[in-house]
Amino acid sequence: MTDPDVNNDDQSVPRQRRSRLRRWVVRGVAAAGVIVVAVVSVIVYLYASANIDTVGTQAFTNQVHIPPLDEGRIENGRRVFDLDFAPAVHDFGTGRPTDIWGVNGAYLGPTLRAERGESVTVNVTNSLDEDTTTHWHGMHLPAVADGGPHQPIEPGDTWSPEWDIDQPAATLWYHPHPHERTSEQIYRGLAGMFLIDDPHNQPAGLPHDYGIDDIPVIVQDKNFDDDGSLDFGTSMISPTGFLGDTIAINGTIDPYFEVTTDKVRLRILNASNARIYNLGLDGDRPFQLVGTDGGLLPRPVELDRVQISPGDRVEIVIDIDAGKRLALRSYEPELGAGVWNDRFTGGDDQFDLLELRATDTITTSEPLPQQLDTESSPDPSAAVAERVMVLTSSSTIDNKSMDMSRVDHTVAVDTSEIWTISNQGGIPHNFHIHDTQFQVLELDGAPPPPALTGRHDTVYMPPDSTVRLLVEFSDYADADTPYMYHCHITQHEDRGMMGQFTVTEAGTPPATSVPDHRSHP
């Protein structure tokens, strides 16, 4: 017989341990359960709250701001413009003044307009307290005038690029492009349109009266804090960066435009950081697509939706009924990124953008011409080289991050090439090339849809897509100064999703590096 006490002592310890263990397991399981429930509810909350829908909720109380048209002045045969970037205060229509960075004192700069065949100079003064640059997005021009990260303007300095305008009539734009600082500078208000007219191709009947029947529509998403200040906080969960819940058109929220003609041409620019808009009209009323990034289409195309990613432009003509109101909307964009990434990149969001409010009596416009663009389209069989580039993450192209002194590609001047771009990054991207307008030959092996015909400098790339582009590099060779290609989701660009190419005289040996043209990198 064993002593029960001893026995007790022998077994009670393990028994206690066992029950303690059991208690811990039970507590652990309970805690894990609580954590799982908490995580799941956070995810459900984030998923649900990531969805924004303002359709039908807008009062359209503010008359939309139309940026002033600036045709510059003629000096020694050149058309000269002046832009000044400086802090300013702006009324978005929130009821409170907002600190912004303005161009010539305003949120969004004047609309510059020049003609094909003219020589232009733009004097850009930096009155901010950080470096900036000014890039002429969509413009064919020498690399030293391009205004990318290699042409910094230091605080207090004025930069005066000069070039000759030689490209078809188009809706281009300008915006800062400093290394790693592009998204915030655009977000604060530095951007504007640059319209090119072609005196030899002005199709009669295409609305062309700025601010009357030819309207700039710069679309941006914003977040405002309660005090009216701009909030640039970015959700950790968004793969593409900043997405705002409030739309500003030309810097006006809740906007309407009073239409006095029975046709109106909207030149729509997506100057947002990451948001992609699927444009359409109330009631799915059709419109005529007349132009894309690089200018007019050969003829109008009737559509009821057209999608624009950051950097893109479209020109549409809308039929207006006297006395009626018609909302321009963004319906859920087709991002092709899957349930999760669609939700967190704005793929389930809808917005009312702008109300077109027709006066009771309106002017009858001429019928829309059936021939618009008269340029011959470039011939793919003339391409001298093929290149492949792969979007590999949210900050790399071909697994490389932007390096100011690395030349990724060298192309020969006055040639054309085929660039095949694939998005293997798993999230939405787009692809933009400086200096040139390209033709989309194929999207995923098929001919492009109508909205991707014509000239483009930016193209949306859903995950797992591939585009084949015919790209021309003409007129300007410079072995020392590169042009950029990049994703125009600007926080991707700022994180390094950008590469550099030089255009050089035929026979120049390809260089692998260029000077970093910033004086204090």
> Which among 126, 273, 313 has a CA at the least distance from the CA of 188?
273
Question: Which residues, numbered 356-375, are part of the site for ligand C2O (CB under 6 A)?
Answer: none
Integer Cα distance of 327 and 332 in angstroms: 15
Helix (H, G, I), strand (E, B) or coil at 283: helix
Question: Which residues, numbered 116-155, are part of the site for Cu ion (CB under 5 A)?
Answer: 137
- Toward ligand C2O, which CB reaches closer, 175 or 179? 175
> Which among 459, 411, 347 has a CA at the least distance from the CA of 52?
347
Tell me the window of 37-45, 94-102, 116-124, 433-441 that interacts with Cu ion (CB under 5 A): 433-441
Q: Are 455 and 293 in contact (CB under 8 A)?
A: yes
Based on the shown chain and the rule CB under 6 A, indicate whether residue 434 belongs to the binding site for ligand C2O: yes
Per-residue x/- marks for ligand C2O, 148-187, CB under 6 A? ---------------------------x-x----------
Integer Cα distance of 169 and 186 in angstroms: 25
Per-residue x/- marks for Cu ion, 487-516, CB under 5 A? x-x--x------------------------
Q: How far is the CB of 346 from ligand C2O (least distance, A)?
A: 19
Nearest position to ligand C2O, beta carbon: 137
- Toward Cu ion, which CB reaches closer, 222 or 429? 429
Taken in order 268, 70, 229, 239, the sign of the CA dihedral is positive
Residues 6+ apart with CB under 8 A from 76: none
- Toward Cu ion, which CB reaches closer, 137 or 468? 137
- Toward ligand C2O, which CB reaches closer, 104 or 270? 270
Among 65, 79, 135, 305, binds ligand C2O (CB under 6 A): 135
Number of chain residues interacting with Cu ion (CB under 5 A): 6
Residue at token pair 């797992």: 464
- List residues bridging with 308 in a β-sheet: 277
Among 90, 179, 429, 495, binds Cu ion (CB under 5 A): 429
- List residues bridging with 512 in a β-sheet: none
Tell me the window of 58-66, 77-85, 394-402, 481-489 that interacts with ligand C2O (CB under 6 A): 481-489
Integer Cα distance of 471 and 379 in angstroms: 10
Residue type, 42: V
Helix (H, G, I), strand (E, B) or coil at 293: coil
Return the half-sphere exposure (C-beta side, CA atoms, 13 A cut-off) of residue 181: 15
Helix H or strand E segment including 30: helix 4-49
When CB distances are held under 5 to 8 angstroms depending on the partner's kind, the choice from Cu ion, ligand C2O, none that residue 486 binds is ligand C2O
Tell me the window of 52-60, 83-91, 363-371, 482-490 that interacts with Cu ion (CB under 5 A): 482-490
**Residues of the chain by 3-state class (helix, strand, coil), percent to 5:** 15, 40, 45
- Toward Cu ion, which CB reaches closer, 70 or 146? 146
Among 432, 455, 456, 468, binds ligand C2O (CB under 6 A): 432
In the complex, the residues that contact ligand C2O under the rule CB under 6 A are 135, 137, 175, 177, 311, 432, 434, 484, 486, 488
In the complex, the residues that contact Cu ion under the rule CB under 5 A are 137, 429, 434, 487, 489, 492
